Structures are given as C-alpha cells and as structure tokens.
Structure 1
Amino acid sequence: MSSQPTTALIILGNALFLQPSDDVLSLTLFSRDDFSKCFSGDGNKATIEESSIETLHIIVKSTDFSNMYDPDALISLSKFVKSGCGTVSVHLLAGEWGQPGMEDVDVVKTSLIMAGLRLDSLEERDDGSKILTGEKTSDENKES
C-alpha cells in the first residue's frame, strides 16, 4: 500500500502562491465542477483514502470566488478529513484584483458548518485576505 499524504492543497483558479513540498498533495482546479470530486480518482484527480487528510487548504482569489467556490463541495470532501484532529482552511486571497467581501466569508462559514466542521477561526490579513478554519471534531453523529 502506498503512503497517503496527510496534507492537501486545492487551488481554485490562478491563486497559486507557494510551491508545495513533495509530501503535500497539490491540486489546481479550473472548473467548479471538479471541486467536489477532486479526491475521487476520476481522470487526472487524486485518489485519497477517507479520513486520511489532517490539513486541507483551499485557496481562491476573491475575484474567482463566485465562479470557482462550490459551498456544497466541502460536504463531499469532509469525509477525507481526519476526525478529532483534521482542519480545513479556506484562504480568500485579496490583492490588486480586490478584497473578499463579507458575503464571501458568510458563504464559507456556512459551507464549513454544513460539512460538519466546527468554525475555529477567522483571520484577517493586512492585505485584506481572510482565512477561515474549521475543525472536524468527530464522526460520532455519522450513521453506520
């Protein structure tokens, strides 16, 4: 059995701001439809085991948010995040193209909660970027 990465980075659109290391799964998506199924192994996407990701970062520019961010995708992706220690951080990037609005923040908050995550923090950066982080506390309410 091959070793599974414990960190995943999903970049929506042209928001790349770092070069991930080899032990980080990095996916760049240019279609909103690919977001919810990016760990399913279809086509060029990655096959990830359920409950194997400790840290998931989703990165999107404020100008790409409405076209690329699918709030329902987190519901599909949350099964890949480890219970009790897994976190999901959504990075709303600001810059010369604009800043994320509070309506975008509200959409992300709602999607984190709908995915069964507890909202941990909302961090605002000096440039106007926002990072929302949720924690997957347990699967105890999950039906067998």
Structure 2
Amino acid sequence: MSKTAESVLSNNTSAVAPDDDDSPPSTVLVLLGPMEFETAGKADIMSIKIRTPDERGPTLEAAAKMVKEETLQAMHVILKSSSVSSLYDETIVSTFFEALTPGAETTVHVLGTPDMPVQPADVNSIRVSLLMGGLRLESEGLTEGEEGGWTLTARKPKPGGDSDDEEDEEPKKEELESIAE
C-alpha cells in the first residue's frame, strides 16, 4: 500500500478496504458527512468516509490506489441534502470512472428531511457531474419510503454501445445545456 494510502487509513479518516486483500472490491460506498457504515462479515465493499472538504482529495487518492481498472460493479454515494454544496465534488465520479466495469451502475442517494424534501434543482451539480464524468443518467427522482430523499442512477457505457446510441447522444447534450442555464 502506498504511503499516502497508509497515512489516510491509519488516521482512520476514510477508506476501508475489503476484508480479503487478494480480491479487489466490487462495490465502492462513499459516505459524505457524519455517517457510518459497517460491513457484516466478509464483504467486497470498499467504504469511504469523507467528513470534511479537506479530507476529500487525500481520501479519494488513497482509495483509488486500492482498486484496479474495470473491477467495480457498482458505486454508491450517500450524503445529506445539506452537504451537496460543501462535500459533493465531481472528483468522486472521475476518481473511480476507470475502475468501473462497462455497464456498472453509479447511484447517488441524497437524503432529505420530511419538512424539506430534496428538489430537482438541489441536485443539479450532481446530475451534471455524472454526465460530464462520462456516465449515462438512467433515472432520478424522489426515493420511495425515505423522508424526502432523491436518488440519481447512472451507468458507465459499454464499449461500442447500443445501435441507437447516436440518437440518444443529442438529447443528452440538450439536457446538459438546459441544466447549465
């Protein structure tokens, strides 16, 4: 393990590798803000905890060194709506893009509150980062059963893509331009 990864991990800052050093993780879970997640038993989940903006760079750098290219099947990012502007950053997507397998799913879970549910405009920066990061936005909307939460799901395109990819490309550009306005 690299010196940077060791120092970040030894400070208990954030990246926790899966239990088995021989097999790379198949899922990355990024927790932004004061949240906890513990895997039950042996798991191939890498849990990354980023509590402050200053931790983001070193923690992501250390975590990136623990994954191999095209080994991740899924990535989940969980944060509170109050943390979107301070803790979410496009580097979260770009850090793990090469590690995602073609077709891998990335889901961003934004937790709201009953008195202040997440609105589409609240997640514009997340939506744009997924699209600019090379992922295809598949769905988004209020999370059922969770108090005012919002979920965005995107997928890494497969090489060569589907035959109708060119038709889908133009609406994506238009969608991105309308979001930016």
TM-score of the two chains, using structure 2 as the length reference: 0.65
Question: Could you say which residue in structure 2 is the equivalent of 1:56?
Answer: 75
Aligned match for 1:131, one of 141, 151, 160 = 151
Q: Give distance in 2, aligned partners of 1:49 and 1:106.
A: 30
Aligned match for 1:65, one of 75, 84, 87 = 84
Listed as ranges, the matches of 1:94-105 within 5 Å are: 94-95=112-113, 98-105=116-123
CA-to-partner distance for each residue in 1:94-126, whole Å, 9 max, x for gaps? 126843232232211111111111101113125
Q: Give distance in 2, aligned partners of 1:14 and 1:7.
A: 21
Q: Give distance in 2, aligned partners of 1:103 and 1:39.
A: 26
Listed as ranges, the matches of 1:105-116 within 5 Å are: 105-116=123-134
AA at the equivalent of 1:20 = T
* Contact 2:140–2:152 under 8 Å retained in 1: yes
Secondary structure (helix, strand or coil) at the match of 2:48 reads strand
Q: Give distance in 1, aligned partners of 2:86 and 2:72.
A: 26
Aligned match for 2:93, one of 74, 92, 96 = 74
For structure 1, which segment, 6-15 or 72-81, has the greater mean C-alpha deviation from structure 2 after superposition?
72-81
Question: Residues 86, 29 of structure 1: CA spacing in aligned structure 2 closer, same or farther, 3 A cutoff?
Answer: same
Q: Give distance in 2, aligned partners of 1:93 and 1:31.
A: 17
Pairwise CA RMSD: 2.6
Percentage of identical aligned residues: 24
Structure 2 residue runs without a partner (length 5+): 1-20, 162-181
TM-score of the two chains, using structure 1 as the length reference: 0.79
Structure 1 residue runs without a partner (length 5+): none
AA at the equivalent of 2:140 = L
Question: Could you say which residue in structure 1 is the equivalent of 2:24?
Answer: 4
AA at the equivalent of 1:30 = R
Q: Point out the structure with max Rg over C-alpha.
A: 2
Paired residues in the alignment total 137
Where is the helix percentage greater, Structure 1 or Structure 2? 2
Work out which structure has the larger RCO, using CA pairs closer than 8 Å and 6 or more positions apart in sequence. Answer: 1
Q: Give distance in 2, aligned partners of 1:52 and 1:94.
A: 31
Question: Could you say which residue in structure 1 is the equivalent of 2:17?
Answer: none
For structure 1, which segment, 69-78 or 3-12, has the greater mean C-alpha deviation from structure 2 after superposition?
69-78
